[in-house]
Amino acid sequence: MHQQKFKPILFSTPMIQAILADNKTMTRRIIKPPISKWLIDQNLNTPYARATALYAKYQIGDILWVRETFGYSNDGRLHYAADVCSPKYDNPINGWKPSIFMPKEVCRLFLQVT
């Protein structure tokens, strides 16, 4: 059985808004198996093709902590771009920080892979 792991995942501001509104319940990521084996074995009913999940970054049971665009106001309060009407104009005093730089400590969304 797979050991549950916490892994980061990036989402854009519109995707965060869809998650918060319960309009987004699924996401997909491309699995990239070794290309040489893939070219030789293109039959999707083979054990190799069924085992490509071994190459997936995320496994069933993993907890994904969602990285999103964020920023801090002058008084140190945390803000998320998905919560404002227009991230372009309603930005924190120091500007928005890209989601790739979001630390786990300020994450507010956790998703479980099913």
Q: What's CA 102's distance to the chain center, in Å?
A: 12
Which comes out higher in pLDDT, residue 112 or 39?
112
Instruction: Let me know how many helices (H) and strands (E) the chain has, helices first.
Output: 3, 5
Separation of alpha carbons 12 and 105, rounded Å: 19
- Per the prediction, the chain carries an average pLDDT of 81
Residue pair 69/87 in contact by the 8 Å Cβ criterion: yes
For the entire predicted model, the pTM comes to 0.74
Given a cut of 80, whether residue 85 has pLDDT beyond it is no
Return the residue matching tokens 């995942």.
9
**Local confidence band at 73 (pLDDT 50, 70, 90 cut-offs):** confident
**Local confidence band at 3 (pLDDT 50, 70, 90 cut-offs):** confident
pLDDT of residue 4: 83
pLDDT of residue 95: 84
DSSP string, 4-48: P-EEEEE--HHHHHHHHTT------------HHHHHH---TTSHH
Percent of the chain with pLDDT over 70: 71
